[in-house]
Amino acid sequence: MEQARDEARGLTERILQARDAYYGRDAEVVDDATYDGWMHRLEAIERLFPELQGQDSPTLSVGAAQTTQFAPVAHAERMLSLDNVFSLDELREWCVKAQDGAGRAVRWLTELKIDGLAISLRYENGVLASAATRGDGRIGEDITFNAVHVAGIPQRLTGTGHPPLVEVRAEVFIPVRAFTELNALQADMRDRAVEESRARSRVFDEARARVSAERRFPALANPRNAASGGLRQQLDKKEGLEYVAGKARLDSLRLFVHGIGAWEHPPVDSQSEIYGLLSEWGLPTSPYFRTTDSIDGVREFVEYYGAHRHDVEHELDGIVVKVDELALHDELGATSRAPRWAIAYKYPPEQVNTKLLDIVVSVGRTGRATPFAVMAPARVAGSVVRQATLHNQDVVRAKGVLIGDTVVVRKAGDVIPEVLGPVVELRDGTEREFVMPAECPECGWPLAPAKEGDIDLRCPNTRACPAQVRGRVEHIGSRGALDIEALGEVTAAALTQPLNPVVPPLETEAGLFELTLDQLVPIEVVVRDSETGAPRVDEKTGERVLRAPFRRNPTAAEKKQGLTAPQPSAQAITLIDELEKAKTKELWRFLVALNIRHVGPVAARALAQWFGSVEAIRAASREELAAVEGVGDIIAGALIDWFEVDWHREILERWQAAGAQLTATGHA
């Protein structure tokens, strides 16, 4: 029992961390297969020991919290996720189980699982009332403003017989061909940005201009992320080249509807008939679906598109198998996160060979030291891969890879790059073994496990390690935290790890809301290559290329007025302005911004609503914290531990002294 408890607690921690990264920071830190494996294992433990399923168990929720500045929208009917299977044997077992649950022969509907963004369209008497992301299944983000511009989303349904209320489930995606065109446009925008800089600069530095352009218009990683970003952007706040690029991304979006949510009395009996009705109303349904009366028919559909997955207009995330009869949907029911009448089959990822050039170690905001594979560029599943996480030294050892190897690479879940192992027969004797450093590559402190038995090594210099401070500051600006657009990865690095001044403006995040323009103007950073991360060198002088992101030279008119000193750049002014505005944001956002382990948007909202202030949370006992719905014992323990640290309390004191309002609206 104790062994099961420890394993369940460890799995819960890893899953919550992955969810926090993915939904709070748009960072994919673990591949789909690994994440699904954790979930399946945790579900198995909780089936054997139901008493271990706490309120914070990720098996009880969908997990995608509403995280951005978009207004929250409540779904009339829960918008669930799907459980996954990864082999034909598992798929057959699921079909047999569903058929047994139905108690009679089942007609199946099979369709392609589009690799895009799930949304819900709410129509009232045939008129579009709102469009929302899935969110946590109950509350999503209002994206109506952008959705009305997506091809295939009618503002008024055609035909007749529209119910007073219907929620339509859909997937927004970017076609593969359009994605290629978007990346070509991004490259064009980079060139145009450089030329704009050349035209308005007396002393033009092409290297710096190119770096700035690459930051403004980066290559898009994959169609799914591009679709999500296109639908969730604030286009009305963009101008110039940014507007052109953003508008192009929005215009490239397409969607297929694939089901209904709320609809009290649908006039049809099957999912396939629903598709026909939705099509009559002017909503686009996928042409790639089929119904069959046999499990063998399901298998044939899966095998066919496994061989023809690149023949369709969009990227696939697998195959969805549904029970076609609507009455059986109610009979089979659902868990707290997924229906029992549908399943997703995931195809094995594509694999390619490439050269492992190096293994470097990076330190994240939690202090974990993570080896990364640096590889020769290779195209895998539609995008170019150059790096992949190797997780820890034990994983490197288990994979048996040497620096200089030819390695097999895939995208797990067709998204996350993963090194599978070496092609041993191609070794020529020049390869060398990776040695995990004993000291933090960022601050020099000895690396060590956080607790006995841990595999991961961490830098214990939590307060002052520059990499950890940089990561925490970047997290504060992320959409799931304070949502400060000007405080991204590059700005966080400039504030915490500048070349000049020697003492950075931010030695910890405590000083964030105390920043002034005078502190920003002197900052200089080393310009790095966007692909390799290596410092760029001036070809003429051999010196490193430096950039002053928060400084501009006075104009001729200003010089005539006697203003000869460097002036704050627009970026500096924007950052200070956005920090000032952030001081009055919701309490739950501040709770996420504090970098408390496991406290993501869902738990933060619950805590803010229940306690009303940071001080009340700090004064609560572990039992009181754990009793809050969506919190549980693990998160409660993390909160208690966080408040016990002196420099954590200093963050709160200095933020409040600088004007940050750490009280929920309506609480004294």
Out of 97, 113, 346, 540, the active site residue is 113
At 54 the pLDDT is 61
* Token digits of residue 659: 């004007």
Asked whether the predicted pLDDT for residue 64 surpasses 70, the reply is no
For 559-608, write each residue's pLDDT tens digit: 777 777 788 998 999 999 999 999 999 999 999 999 998 898 889 999 99
Task: Report the distance separating Cα 358 and Cα 372, nearest Å.
Answer: 8
At 34 the pLDDT is 65
Asked whether the predicted pLDDT for residue 51 surpasses 60, the reply is yes
536-540 long-range contacts, Cβ below 8 Å, gap at least 24? 536/207, 536/211, 538/207
Asked whether the predicted pLDDT for residue 493 surpasses 80, the reply is yes
Q: What is the mean pLDDT of residues 26-30?
A: 51
For 503-554, write each residue's pLDDT tens digit: 999 999 999 999 999 999 999 988 766 555 567 777 777 777 788 889 887 7
- What percentage of the chain has pLDDT greater than the value 90? 56
Per-residue confidence band for 667, with pLDDT thresholds at 50, 70 and 90: low
For 202-218, write each residue's pLDDT tens digit: 777 777 788 788 888 88
First to last CA, the chain: 44
Task: Report the distance separating Cα 390 and Cα 337, nearest Å.
Answer: 30
Q: Judge whether 583 counts as a catalytic residue.
A: no
At 25 the pLDDT is 45
* Token digits of residue 72: 């929250």
Which amino acid, 596? I
Complete DSSP assignment for 157-215: --SS---S-EEEEEEEE--HHHHHHHHHHHHHHHHHHHHHHHHH-SS--HHHHHHHHHH
Taking alpha carbons only, the member of 323, 399, 408 closest to residue 105 is 323
Pairing of strands 342-345, 84-85: parallel
Asked whether the predicted pLDDT for residue 400 surpasses 50, the reply is yes
At 66 the pLDDT is 44
Task: Report the distance separating Cα 263 and Cα 167, nearest Å.
Answer: 7
For 107-165, write each residue's pLDDT tens digit: 999 999 998 999 999 999 999 999 999 988 889 999 999 999 998 999 999 998 899 99
Asked whether the predicted pLDDT for residue 49 surpasses 80, the reply is no
Higher per-residue confidence, 666 vs 316: 316
Task: Report the distance separating Cα 95 and Cα 301, nearest Å.
Answer: 14
- What is the C-alpha R_g of the chain? 26
CB-CB neighbours of 589 under 10 Å: 23
Angstrom distances, CA of residue 261 to CA of 64, 77, 80, 124, 258? 18, 6, 10, 13, 10
Complete DSSP assignment for 237-269: G--HHHHHHHHHHHHT-EEEEEEES--SS-S-S
Q: What letter would DSSP give residue 52?
A: G
Asked whether the predicted pLDDT for residue 4 surpasses 70, the reply is no
Task: Report the distance separating Cα 447 and Cα 233, nearest Å.
Answer: 40
Q: Which residues of 276-291 are buried (b: 16+ CB within 10 A; e: fewer)?
A: ebbeebebbbbebbeb
Higher per-residue confidence, 661 vs 21: 661
Q: What is the mean pLDDT of residues 607-612?
A: 94
Greatest pairwise CA separation for the chain in angstroms? 88
For 98-116, write each residue's pLDDT tens digit: 999 999 999 999 999 998 9
Q: What is the mean pLDDT of residues 452-475?
A: 91
Asked whether the predicted pLDDT for residue 191 surpasses 80, the reply is yes
At 309 the pLDDT is 85
Per-residue confidence band for 27, with pLDDT thresholds at 50, 70 and 90: very low
Asked whether the predicted pLDDT for residue 326 surpasses 80, the reply is yes
Residues near 231 by beta carbon (within 8 Å), at least 6 away in sequence: 117, 119, 133, 143, 146, 147, 150, 172, 250, 253
Per-residue confidence band for 281, with pLDDT thresholds at 50, 70 and 90: very high
